[in-house]
Amino acid sequence: MECLGPQCAAMLLEWIRTQSESPTISSGEGLGPQARQGLLWKAAPYQEDAPALTTTAELEGALEHLRYAVFRRFQNQLTRSERSRLDNSIENAFFKIDRYLLRTVEAERAAHESEVDRLREEAREGKERVERLRLQARRAELKLAQLTTLTPETFEEFVGELFEAMGYEVQQVGGSGDEGADIRLRRGDLFAIVQCKYHKRGVVGSPELQKFLGSVHHNHAHKGFFVTTSTFSLAAEKFATDHPIELVDGPRLVELVTQALGPGARREPEPSWF
Pairing of the two strands 203-204 and 231-232: parallel
The better pLDDT of the pair 39, 172 is held by 172
Domain segments of the chain as ranges: 56-137, 146-265
d(CA 73, CA 70): 5
Tell me the pLDDT band of 115, cut-offs 50, 70 and 90. very high
Q: Write down the pLDDT at residue 140.
A: 67
pLDDT tens-digit readout, 23-71: 544 444 444 445 444 444 567 889 999 999 999 999 999 999 999 999 9
Of all residues in the chain, the percent with pLDDT exceeding 70 is 75
Tell me the pLDDT band of 77, cut-offs 50, 70 and 90. confident
Q: Write down the pLDDT at residue 12.
A: 66
Q: Write down the pLDDT at residue 101.
A: 93
Q: Write down the pLDDT at residue 62.
A: 93
Q: What is the mean pLDDT of the chain?
A: 80
* DSSP line for the chain: ----HHHHHHHHHHHHHHHHT-SS-TTSSS--TT--PPPS--PPPP-TT-SS--SHHHHHHHHHHHHHHHHHHHHS---HHHHHHHHHHHHHHHHHHHHHHHHS-HHHHHHHHHHHHHHHHHHHHHHHHHHHHHHHHHHHHHHHHTGGG--HHHHHHHHHHHHHHTT-EEEE--STT-TT-SEEEEETTEEEEEEEE--SS-EE-HHHHHHHHHHHHHTT-SEEEEEESSEE-HHHHHHHHTTTEEEE-HHHHHHIIIIIT-GGGSPPSS-TT-
Q: Write down the pLDDT at residue 198.
A: 85
Considering the domain delimited by 146-265, tell me its CATH architecture: 3-Layer(aba) Sandwich (3.40)
pLDDT tens-digit readout, 135-152: 777 776 676 677 777 888
- Among candidate residues 70, 91, 86, 84, the one with its CA nearest the CA of residue 270: 84
CA atoms within 13 A on the CB side of 221: 28
Q: Write down the pLDDT at residue 39.
A: 46
**Is the pLDDT score of 272 beyond 60?**
no
* pTM for the whole structure: 0.50
